[in-house]
Amino acid sequence: MAGNLTPSDKLAANMKRLSALYPQELCFREVQARKDHIDQFGNSIARGDIYYCYEEGYQFENYGKLSIKSAELLTEILIDRNPSLREATDRINEEREAKLRESMRAFMEQ
């Protein structure tokens, strides 16, 4: 049976915050499961569910999986209950976005 779990807006925002703690090329990304999986914490990911994938190095085969359930628990502990970390990761994301805008502006002016 295919799943249909998708992240809430709050979870998507918190995963973006969590990704700020990683190099940009190794950040978390949403993936739709093409088959059933078990995530890093032993929770099921059904075919069709959205889950979070993260790199564990620079090799394509090395990546971990977080189900929606695991991602919600992890971000509740690390982000929701820690205003300092939430503010710091928001600041990192703002800086990254500002650099991207500046790069795009410079490219368009060429």
Predicted pLDDT at 104: 92
pLDDT in tens, 30-87: 999 999 999 999 999 999 999 999 876 666 566 789 999 999 999 999 999 999 999 9
Residue numbers of the domain that contains 51: 9-108
CB atoms within 10 A of CB 35: 8
State the pLDDT at residue 70: 97
pLDDT at 58 (0 to 100):
60
43-48 contacts, C-beta under 8 A, 24 or more apart: 43/67, 43/69, 43/70, 45/3, 46/1, 46/2, 46/3, 46/5, 47/2, 47/3, 48/2, 48/3, 48/4
Domain count across the chain: 1
Residue 2 lies in a domain: no
User: Domain for residue 3, yes or no?
Assistant: no
Q: Does residue 1 fall inside a structural domain?
A: no
Is 86 part of a structural domain of the chain? Answer: yes
- Please check whether residue 4 lies inside any domain of the structure: no
- pLDDT over threshold 90, residue 7: no
User: Looking at residue 1, what is its pLDDT?
Assistant: 46
Tally of helices (H runs) and strands (E runs) in the chain: 3, 5
